[in-house]
């Protein structure tokens, strides 16, 4: 199949997505039913099918695994910069000792585990029961994670009602590009934060280049991820995300571009935010 045929096929899929009707979930918050939700059932189903191969370092999620080379230091260093992490512990094996972190949309635990190994008390939440089960099974392989890592099958909005202002940091990596109601999602994430707490997000920008690289090349040409993983219309531009963060009481401390080399399976920081980027925001008092 030629590249032009692939591009035409993906473009038709985009048009179909724009025309489709989405039936909202019904969730319960504070005893009242709400049609607002941070998850899309089709997305949960799609990712649940990948559960058995979530930790396969040569499979579809290997780029997500290697992304830890950037996102783990992003969280660690960001928490030292804000003063949440004690400077005396910076060069110790567990520099994040004493901090509470929630990984929203944790999947099978690829990011939750290394953060817990840095000493933090980590809670991973996800809407997929299958992924939470895989995360729990994998965590059992490392006894050092016991009492440091907890997984819960729940939604962000449900957990925000149960653990409001509990966490020193909220991490949500490669999640918001799958969320339709982004304002609602960001609101729930900020509710989970303590005052002066940090919110770390990695995601995809909505540009022509991200459509060509993040959808056409990644899903249909190089097949780095399964087809249908991403909907370009749900990608979010950094300026849009920053406005949302400000609306819910957070200011942007850092914005970095992220560049992936599929030939070497390596990630690098970049000034270019046209495809992947990371944001560190801090909640005001």
| 259-279 per-position pLDDT tens digit | 999 999 999 999 999 999 999
Point out the annotated binding site. 71, 105, 126, 173-174, 177-178
Question: What is the pLDDT at residue 97?
Answer: 97
Tokens of 134: 């895989």
Query: Residue 137's closest CA among 129, 43, 105, 115?
Result: 129
Do 156 and 38 touch, CB atoms closer than 8 A? Answer: yes
156 burial class (0-12, 13-18, 19+ CB within 10 angstroms)?
A: buried
Tokens of 251: 């200011």
Point out the annotated binding site for Mg(2+). 174, 177-178
Helix axes 41-48, 129-139, angle to 10 degrees: 40
Query: Residue 283's closest CA among 181, 168, 137, 155?
Result: 168
Task: For residue 35, name the pLDDT band (cuts at 50, 70, 90).
Answer: low
Class of domain 59-283: alpha beta
Point out the annotated binding site for S-adenosyl-L-methionine. 71, 105, 126, 173
Strands, E, within the chain: which ranges?
Answer: 27-29, 32-34, 100-104, 121-126, 149-153, 167-173, 193-204, 250-261, 266-270, 276-283
Please state the rounded mean pLDDT for residues 91-106.
Answer: 97
| 178-213 per-position pLDDT tens digit | 999 999 999 999 999 999 999 999 999 999 999 999
Query: Model's pTM, two decimal places?
Result: 0.89
């Amino acid at each position: 199949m030629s590249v032009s045929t692939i591009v035409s096929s993906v473009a038709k899929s985009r048009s179909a997505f724009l025309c489709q009707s989405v039936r909202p979930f019904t969730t319960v918050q504070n005893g009242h039913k709400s049609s607002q939700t941070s998850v899309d059932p089709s997305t949960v189903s799609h990712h649940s099918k990948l559960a058995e191969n979530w930790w396969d370092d040569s499979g579809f999620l290997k780029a997500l695994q290697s992304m830890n080379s950037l996102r783990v230091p992003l969280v660690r260093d960001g928490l030292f910069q804000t003063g949440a992490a004690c400077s005396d512990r910076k060069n110790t094996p567990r520099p994040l000792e004493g901090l509470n972190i929630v990984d929203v949309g944790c999947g099978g635990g690829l990011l939750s585990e290394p953060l817990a190994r840095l000493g933090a008390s980590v809670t991973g939440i996800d809407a997929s029961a299958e992924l939470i089960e895989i995360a729990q099974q994998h965590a059992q392989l490392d006894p050092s994670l016991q009492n440091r890592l907890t997984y819960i099958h729940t939604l962000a909005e449900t957990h925000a009602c149960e653990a409001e202002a509990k966490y020193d940091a909220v991490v949500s990596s490669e999640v918001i590009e799958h969320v339709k109601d982004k304002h609602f999602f960001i609101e729930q994430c900020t509710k989970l934060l303590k005052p002066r707490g940090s919110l770390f997000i990695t995601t995809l920008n909505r540009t022509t280049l991200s459509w060509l690289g993040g959808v056409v090349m990644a899903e249909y040409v190089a097949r780095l991820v399964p087809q249908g993983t991403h909907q370009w219309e749900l990608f979010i531009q950094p300026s849009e995300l920053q406005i949302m963060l400000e609306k819910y009481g957070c200011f942007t401390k850092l914005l970095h571009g992220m560049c992936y080399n599929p030939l070497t399976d390596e990630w690098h920081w970049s000034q270019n935010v046209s495809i992947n980027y990371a944001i560190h925001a801090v909640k005001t008092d």
